[in-house]
Amino acid sequence: MIYRVLGLTSLLLLGAVVALTRRRLLRERHATLWVGLSLMILILSVWPYLINKLGYWLGVAYPPTVFLVGGVLVTLVLTLRLTVTVAVLEGKLIRLTEEQAILSSLLAKSLANTGTDSIVTESGKAESSAL
């Protein structure tokens, strides 16, 4: 019974990943990992003796422990990958903020030197007026 639940869960996960990818809420780069995990769970639910063979091959006394340890390792790798992504994006955000501040300062100085005051309308067009 538990193998049927695992198989159904893996199919639901696979469907969710495909739906999220089609709606552009999940990028293909990240979807590949989730599709792989879903397929691995599906394979192990269809052929549960593979867990026993893998446990025997690794020398584990209680083979389902292999599945648990594998899940913990996947979680650690995923957490590390997401942490690196957040760190890279944080660096890009800091650089973008600094560049925006520099450009704003340069624009203000440029407008002050030309003697005009620039007003941006709702349409996005800049209208200049003399000071």
pLDDT band with cut points at 50, 70 and 90 for residue 117? low
pLDDT band with cut points at 50, 70 and 90 for residue 116? low
Residues 38 and 83 in one domain: no
Q: Is residue 52 part of a domain?
A: no
pLDDT at 21: 94
Q: What is the pLDDT of residues 22-81, one digit of tens each?
A: 999 999 988 998 999 899 989 988 998 898 898 999 999 998 888 889 889 989 998 999
* 130 CB-near residues (< 8 Å, 6+ apart): 115, 116, 117
Residues 65 and 111 in one domain: yes
Structure token pair of residue 99: 């560049």
Provide the domain count of the chain: 2
- Domain of 88? 59-117
Average pLDDT, rounded, for the chain: 87
Residues 31 and 65 in one domain: no
Residue 10: exposure state from Cβ atoms within 10 A (0-12, 13-18, ≥19): buried
Q: Is residue 122 part of a domain?
A: no
Give the Cα separation of 108 and 33 in Å (integer): 47
Count the Cβ atoms, other than its own, within 10 Å of residue 111: 15
Q: Is residue 54 part of a domain?
A: no
String of DSSP letters for 33-86: HHHHHHHHHHHHHH-THHHHHHHHHHT-SSTHHHHHHHHHHHHHHHHHHHHHHH
Residues 2 and 29 in one domain: yes
Residues 37 and 71 in one domain: no
Give the Cα separation of 112 and 31 in Å (integer): 50
pTM more than 0.75: no
Residues 70 and 35 in one domain: no
